[in-house]
Chains A and B, each alone.
Chain A
Amino acid sequence: MKNLTSLITGFTKFALKPFNTRFKQLFENDPSIDRGYQVDITCVNEGGLAPMEATMELEIINHDIDNMVFGDSTVLSGKELAIDHDGLKEYLLEDRRLQDIDIQIAKPGESCRIGVVFDIIEPRAKEAGSGSDFPGLLGPFAVAGQGSTHVLRGSAVTVIDPSAVPGITSKVLEMQGEPASASPYGNLHHLVLSPKVLDDSPRHVVQNVLRMLSVKAAVYLGNAAQGKKSDQVEIYSQNENDNESREGIPRIAYIAQIHGHQMTVEEDEPILYGSNTEGMMPILLNPNEILDGALVASYWVMRVETYFYQNHPLIKELLSRHQSKEITFTGVIATVAASKETDRNRNCMLAASMAKSTLKADGVVLTKYGGGAPHVDMGETARLCEAMGMPTVVQVSDSSGDRKAESAMLFNYPEVDAVVYGGGGDTGWDVGTPERVIAGTPGVAKTLKDMKYIEGAALCGITNQQGASKIRATVY
């Protein structure tokens, strides 16, 4: 096992093919992996934590992508990413829970509609020796958010959910026309993975396959940038003690929901460092950790994609205002919305008190995860923050079918009076029949093809709850 671990640790960096072959040989006859849990093994780390500095510094090395093609090998030359279709397919099919996988490229401006999307991830890989890719989920445990990360900016890995049923038009990508321009995903080069999982697989297995595929493919592509230089480098370092005094600058904390337990998590549902967040209480995270692979979207969610954890609009804005000294960004408190009221009360209380006493915040911004029930937890947390003397701003989206303000709110606290709205029901576009549809099943493909109108809420990224939404509500 020890040998295997060290092999795996180095695998994403150096030895793709040899490792794969070796892996296959090692486990060919092991019945325990028939259900396909080999992915867990990659998380075993016996080497200890990576060294960590007091101030976390993350170097993001951006490699702009303006073309994505299939080629003989996976290489980045200039701004063109060539992908070895067969090599990638072979690698992904090592997950024996898969029957087959369809891999296609969708480019900006193409007449192409894609759905139903499971998740969208930006292709990234840690610079060899400087950290772990999706630690606890894919790579070995290491604190995310430090070292150097190669980013294939302008591209995405998009995974289709094969278990989506026809007739439901949500989580769609449109590559052409107005909807494409309005979505932050419309101008990306997408590598679209449409997997076929073994028949009669339980739901959680299907979802786990999708999750593992998404991160494996993202790192596979990201590795094409290993050792390459770029002049597009960003340094993320949230240093509170920089030379000039920060006295008088408001200290702002961010309380971020990362799951809502009205959707019961699966045992094998990795969300935060591989944890399924069951029983989780609020914890403090460095914003860099979220940007650098500590966090992925859960199996079931609306309006959140892993891509916008990696490029978290709200965290980036907080960091930028920290840089310009409009605020002092004190950190992120990750929390979950509860199913049980006792859990809700406990989590809301601890998140608020952590912002107050640990982060010494003067103000707090809050976002929710998913639908209506998490709205309540966010409102309650904000109410407690206000009661502790920390002004708040919350971001909501609504699902008021009748477009009435009275149907939009799920809390009503006079002090929680600063609301930013992230999406709603009367944005949408008339669309024609696309030339190409990428879907998980023929039934869903037909649904997508026949769409005459795409609602804003059904198009990935439009009503995003991580701060990317450009929709604002006005009450008329």
Chain B
Amino acid sequence: MGLPINKEHLKLGLRYIENKDFIYNLKVVRRTDMRVVHYLNQFFGGIGGEEFASTGVSSQEGAIGPGRLLQQLIDGESEVVNTIICGDNYAAENLDEITDFVVNSVREAKADLFVAGPCFEAGRYGVAAGAICAAVSAQVGIPVVTAMAEENPGVDLFRQEIYIIDSGANVGAMSEVLEKMAKILNKLKNHQEIGHPEEEGYIAQGIVRDEILEENAATRILDMIIAKTAGKSYKSELTQTAFEPIPAPPAVSDLTNATIAVVTDGGLVPKGNPDNMPPIAAEIWGSYDIASLDDLQSGDYDVQHRGYDNRHVLDDPDRLVPVDVLRELEEAGAIGKVYEEFLSTSGLANPIANSRRLGQEMAKKLKSAGVDAVILTST
């Protein structure tokens, strides 16, 4: 018995026929062939060592060096169609140019996959490979992979965005590293699930994934404390994050001439919440006029933050944004000027990457407005 065909099916069929790209892509996938573009530095590209690190970017057809083994390891009729080579110094100094060059080459080659490295401990090489892979992934949308040693500075910069195989420091492990790179590419192109970093050999991207177990947390807590007190090994379910140090800006030399701004992550907004600030994980910040105010009044403000009891700040917003005291200090000449607006966002459960962006945007605004120093109040 055949399936009944309705109007929807017909429309769908028409769309397939009209969409020539679809048919074209279909042909490409069926006919072959994984077309790979490969990026190498001057050393692995066979040009030479450190003395050739300023060599500019060039492109050659076919596989070179590690690419020869790589194309054999990728499933199916794979071929490195194009190898791009660039000196490490040149890449470090002209990263935007190189990135554009590679993205264009990948597009022109109609590549299905992109590979950079392995870079092992070479820092400039790793940073360039990471940046280029991230750009190809974001702009072209094809699977990418690179490989480096964990200490390579490219790791911290790009591991959240792309898969970086842990190559270790030993260049002699080249073939094993290429095998792991090929394995992950095969999975990516077939849309297979990528397993745990330790199984697949890549450096953890720092993405938390849940799984549901048989044992509850209580059992796991006891297993872990018994192992830890006995000095035996145990595996933490979350690992710690180290934050990069932030250089301290120099001291304000003369407060009596300084413009001071107030920023808060406590979610204070004018009554009615004009910018629709969300009370959790806000992706926006607001800037609110206080130029003519000597004191923030209860009733004029709302709080958009669900992580603390807001009633005390609603009763007196100066408990969060101390306009009353700053105005006194301004009048007494202790500080030059209170900046005419306060900036506010909701810091509750806000992802680090988002918070970083909000902070950068706020800093940019305040810097261009000539603000000399900022008081940040946090709940």
Direct contact between A and B judged by beta carbons closer than 8 A: yes
**Contact indicator B206/A250 (Cβ below 8 Å):** no
**Contact indicator B351/A418 (Cβ below 8 Å):** no
Partner of B213, one of A404, A405, A470: A470
A-B contact pairs, 11 of them (CB 8 A): A250-B230, A317-B218, A317-B221, A362-B229, A371-B349, A396-B238, A401-B281, A422-B217, A424-B210, A471-B212, A476-B208
CA distance A476 to B341 in the complex (A): 42
Is residue A326 within 8 Å, beta carbon to beta carbon, of the partner chain? yes
Is residue A395 within 8 Å, beta carbon to beta carbon, of the partner chain? yes
CA distance A414 to B242 in the complex (A): 10
Is residue A36 within 8 Å, beta carbon to beta carbon, of the partner chain? no
**Contact indicator B225/A363 (Cβ below 8 Å):** yes
Is residue B365 within 8 Å, beta carbon to beta carbon, of the partner chain? no
CB interface residues, B 205-242, toward A, < 8 Å: 205-222, 224-226, 228-230, 234, 236-242
Is residue A314 within 8 Å, beta carbon to beta carbon, of the partner chain? yes
A419 partner residues in chain B, CB cutoff 8 A? 236-238
**Contact indicator A476/B205 (Cβ below 8 Å):** yes
Total number of B residues with any Cβ neighbor in A under 8 Å: 52
Closest to A320 in B: B222
CB B378 to nearest CB in A, in angstroms, measures 11
**Contact indicator A313/B216 (Cβ below 8 Å):** yes
CB A101 to nearest CB in B, in angstroms, measures 28
B354 partner residues in chain A, CB cutoff 8 A? 401-402
Binding site of B, secondary structure by majority: helix, strand, loop or mixed?
loop
CB B290 to nearest CB in A, in angstroms, measures 26
Given contacts A362-B229, A471-B211, are A317 and B222 in contact (CB under 8 A)?
yes
Closest to A476 in B: B207
Is residue A258 within 8 Å, beta carbon to beta carbon, of the partner chain? no
Bitwise interface map of A from 400 to 421 toward B, beta carbon under 8 Å scored 1, else 0: 1111111111001110011111
Q: Which residues of B contact A (CB under 8 A)?
A: 160, 194, 196-197, 204-222, 224-226, 228-230, 234, 236-243, 281, 307-309, 311-312, 348-354, 379
Is residue A221 within 8 Å, beta carbon to beta carbon, of the partner chain? no
**Contact indicator A473/B224 (Cβ below 8 Å):** no
A401 partner residues in chain B, CB cutoff 8 A? 281, 349-351, 354
Q: Which of A318, A407, A422, A471 has the most CB of B within 10 A?
A: A407
Q: Which of B216, B217, B219 has the most CB of A within 10 A?
A: B217
CA distance A395 to B242 in the complex (A): 19
Partner of B349, one of A318, A372, A467, A475: A372
CA distance A354 to B350 in the complex (A): 35
**Contact indicator B236/A264 (Cβ below 8 Å):** no
**Contact indicator B240/A414 (Cβ below 8 Å):** yes
**Contact indicator B212/A427 (Cβ below 8 Å):** yes
CA distance A159 to B348 in the complex (A): 28
Partner of B309, one of A264, A406, A476: A264
Is residue A252 within 8 Å, beta carbon to beta carbon, of the partner chain? yes
CA distance A258 to B106 in the complex (A): 58
CA distance A413 to B196 in the complex (A): 25
Is residue A456 within 8 Å, beta carbon to beta carbon, of the partner chain? yes
**Contact indicator B218/A472 (Cβ below 8 Å):** no
CA distance A461 to B216 in the complex (A): 11
Bitwise interface map of A from 190 to 202 toward B, beta carbon under 8 Å scored 1, else 0: 0000000000000
Q: Which of B160, B206, B208, B209 has the most CB of A within 10 A?
A: B208
Q: Which of B210, B215, B218, B234 has the most CB of A within 10 A?
A: B218
Closest 9 CB pairs of A and B: A467-B218, A402-B351, A399-B349, A317-B218, A363-B229, A313-B218, A421-B237, A250-B229, A264-B309
A413 partner residues in chain B, CB cutoff 8 A? 240
Given contacts A393-B221, A401-B281, are A470 and B237 in contact (CB under 8 A)?
no
A414 partner residues in chain B, CB cutoff 8 A? 240
Given contacts A314-B221, A420-B221, A424-B208, are A475 and B309 in contact (CB under 8 A)?
no
Closest to A394 in B: B221
**Contact indicator A473/B307 (Cβ below 8 Å):** no
CB A309 to nearest CB in B, in angstroms, measures 13
**Contact indicator B240/A417 (Cβ below 8 Å):** yes
